[in-house]
Structure 1
Amino acid sequence: MYGSHLQNIANNGFTVVEDIFGPDEIRSILQQINKTNADKSTFRKSAGLFAIRQFLKEIPEAQSLIFTAKLKNTITALFGDGYFMVKAIYFDKPEESNWFVAWHQDLTISVDKRTNLPGFGPWTVKQNQFAVQPPLNILQDNFTIRIHLDDADEGNGALKVVPGSHLKGIYRPETIDWDGETETTCAVKAGGIMVMRPLLLHASNRTTNHKPRKVIHIEFSKADLPMELTWAELCKI
């Protein structure tokens, strides 16, 4: 059942699995989001974007709604046991959004503090959250699941990716030879998930079809960090 997905992840760095969440499950998740106080620093609101960082810390009631038996079984089938959640963000790209994201890899992890460690760096801080680029082997083993609460296609900012780019280590966008690369858009129906490696080059266009795009972005790892550091959003699944 999952053979083609395993091959897609290994070769291309991503796969799309449909029908993980039903309409009632999506409604329940959105109800929890909509009744949350959005005045905190971890919430970012503008005409073109609504985002919640540290999503499950801010809305812990959503955890049981997200980590259903079907999602957990899918994670185990694709990656085995031992993984835990290390970061969660909710993104809402509204109908009139002109927000876009340039080509990039997800090169940082969220941790509890800043400290000097070999192989860790550079460091950044967003909304009082420390982030650091870890050694390459940690990034290579991590994975991300993007839960789609709306249908997404090229018209409302579904991710564009460069298949196979996760196999090239740190791959700076400014060094890409586009004559040797192709891009593809990852259309996903509401209730489906996109699974990707963090080193996969990806980007997102502006919205052009006046349709919303709501996504829960969750990162997973099974890496033991040095004793000086702790995962900032660690959550067992």
Structure 2
Amino acid sequence: MTTETHEATLARDGYAIVPDALEAASVDALLTAVAPLADLAAGTRGGVRHLLRDVPAVRALARHPAMRDVAESALGPGAFAVRGLLFDKTPGANWKVIWHQDLTIAVRERREVAGFGPWTEKDGVPHVQPPAALLARMVAVRLHLDDCTATNGPVRVIPGSHRDGRLSAADVERWRAAVPEVTCTVPRGGILAFHSLLLHASSPAQDASHRRVVHVEYAAAEWSELPGGLAWHERHCAALRGTERH
């Protein structure tokens, strides 16, 4: 799939799948780098935050051409990474995610700014819902460290729903009734990318295999600086900005 196709697919459907984005050796190296987090993930419903801050290999992944090309296809040149997470569905950490949009960002400290709210706190870090205009310029790029099959809890999406802004509960049901969902199976080393406002969900895994995913969120260059003194929590990773290639 070419970059031009990524751009068209992401604009139309809100998501894109890129098989074989990273070679096996790079995936093996990432698995080694995140291995110390595996037990932590198992004890926290399968998720670990702050990978950009804490794991150098994930910072390098966020700069990888395969990741950046997809992010920039959706957001334009200069897209930069703002958050990194690890997800792993196992028999001991298995969960269901209902239909939703990704509506929060992580910031360094709470400040009262018009259009930003409500506020929550996750792992000691302030999170806030920003204006829909910002969310419309964010995309998640997920590298799969294991095969993601139809039976180990893949992401499901409703194509095109990202174009309708922030959705109410009634809007969600309207989209579900009108547009068939798509199950996103992704091979090991492949990428699933989707806009933050795209409706997505996942079911519990039905088998005992791992479904390890490194999830990196990017924002468009025009949101490099947030208003009112707000700052991205992981924005201190300045090398993730720009058109740098590693």
Distance 1:148 1:106 in 2: 19
Tell me what 2:163 maps to.
167
Tell me what 1:101 maps to.
97
Stretches of structure 2 lacking an aligned partner (at least 5 in a row):
241-246
Distance 2:61 2:114 in 1: 39
The change in CA–CA distance for 1:61 and 1:184 in structure 2 (over 3 A counts) is closer
Contact in 2 for aligned 1:158/1:205 (Cα 8 Å): yes
**Percent of paired sites with the same residue:** 33
Contact in 1 for aligned 2:20/2:189 (Cα 8 Å): yes
Tell me what 1:213 maps to.
211
How far apart are residue 227 of structure 1 and its match?
Answer: 4.2
Matched, 1:22 2:23: yes
How far apart are residue 20 of structure 1 and its match?
Answer: 1.3
Distance 1:36 1:167 in 2: 35
Distance 2:138 2:62 in 1: 19
CA RMSD of aligned residues (A): 2.1
How far apart are residue 2 of structure 1 and its match?
Answer: 2.3
The change in CA–CA distance for 1:77 and 1:120 in structure 2 (over 3 A counts) is closer
The change in CA–CA distance for 1:51 and 1:44 in structure 2 (over 3 A counts) is same
As a proportion of its length, which structure holds more helix? 2
Tell me what 1:131 maps to.
127
Supply the AA of the counterpart residue of 1:63. R
Matched, 1:71 2:67: yes
How far apart are residue 111 of structure 1 and its match?
Answer: 0.4
Distance 1:167 1:216 in 2: 25
Matched, 1:182 2:180: yes
Distance 1:36 1:199 in 2: 28
TM-score (norm 2): 0.86
Contact in 1 for aligned 2:96/2:202 (Cα 8 Å): yes
The change in CA–CA distance for 1:81 and 1:14 in structure 2 (over 3 A counts) is same
Aligned partner of 1:45 among 39, 42, 51: 42
How far apart are residue 60 of structure 1 and its match?
Answer: 2.3
Stretches of structure 1 lacking an aligned partner (at least 5 in a row):
none
1:37-83 per-position Cα deviation (integer Å, ceiling 9, x unaligned): 96xxxx5433x843210012122243225532343344445543211
Distance 2:57 2:3 in 1: 30
Q: Matched residue pairs, number? A: 232
Tell me what 2:7 maps to.
6
